[in-house]
Homo-oligomer: A and B are copies of this chain.
Amino acid sequence: MRVLGVDPGLTRCGVGVVEGVAGQPLTMIGVGVVRTPADAELGQRLVAVEQGIEQWLDEHRPECVAVERVFSQHNVRTVMGTAQASAVAMLCAARRGIPVALHTPSEVKAAVTGSGRADKAQVGAMVTRLLRLDAPPKPADAADALALAICHIWRAPAQNRLQQAVALHAATARKGRTA
């Protein structure tokens, strides 16, 4: 499974592609940051994020895009930009028919470090170890994007089993009604 992780942001949007399956060593395919100038108009910044994400999708053809789920508890100004950048990333993927998965920051931290409250340094260290890199990817947004992709690959089997169980239950219920 090849996953593009996106840590959404207007100033820096982290992107990272990881390939592999749960239970086996993972491979980093690419990592980077889509940047937009803080003094540009909001519409132009969103267009730049779109172009950046499109380029990553074109180049790496992921089977799934994992995006950080945005909450609005944090700083008001930042969270709006984050929500808007995440919308563009989800739009780009969905337009191509690529499934989009959302993971919360604590799910991602728990997946790669074992603790939902881990700090940036810990996440960076674990991403470095899990992908057998020489040094933690910089900036932190890039490392976070890789962590999202890893989290998705590891959680996917459980999520698939859950979806299959729900589908089976729904099918059985339908059968029960028509019987």
Indicate if the CB atoms of A70 and B80 lie closer than 8 Å: yes
Query: Chain B residues with Cβ under 8 A from A135's Cβ?
Result: none
User: With A76-B71, A76-B72 given, is the CB distance from A100 to B47 under 8 Å?
Assistant: no
Q: Tell me the complex Cα distance, A71–B75, Å.
A: 11
Which of B43, B47, B72, B100 meets A42, CB within 8 Å? B100
Task: Please provide the chain A residues from 29 to 57 with a CB less than 8 Å away from any CB of chain B in the complex.
Answer: 41-44, 46-47, 50
A91 part of interface (Cβ distance < 8 Å): yes
Interface residues on A, range: 20 to 34
Query: Chain B residues with Cβ under 8 A from A21's Cβ?
Result: none
Q: Using an 8 Å CB-CB cutoff, how does the interface string of A93-108 with B read, 1 for contact, 0 for none?
A: 1110001101000000
Task: Please provide the chain A residues from 59 to 79 with a CB less than 8 Å away from any CB of chain B in the complex.
Answer: 70-73, 76, 79
* Nearest B residue to A77, CB-CB: B72
* Nearest B residue to A45, CB-CB: B94
Query: Chain B residues with Cβ under 8 A from A100's Cβ?
Result: 41-43
Q: Is the interface of A mostly helix, strand, loop or mixed?
A: helix
Which of B41, B86, B95, B102 meets A94, CB within 8 Å? B41
A113 part of interface (Cβ distance < 8 Å): no
Indicate if the CB atoms of A50 and B84 lie closer than 8 Å: no
Which of B44, B80, B99 meets A72, CB within 8 Å? B80
Which of B71, B72, B84, B90 meets A86, CB within 8 Å? B84
Known contacts A84-B84, A84-B87; 7 further A-B pairs (Cβ under 8 A): A42-B100, A43-B93, A43-B94, A44-B94, A50-B95, A87-B87, A88-B88
Residues of chain A touching chain B, judged by Cβ–Cβ distance below 8 Å, are: 41-44, 46-47, 50, 70-73, 76, 79-80, 83-88, 90-91, 93-95, 99-100, 102
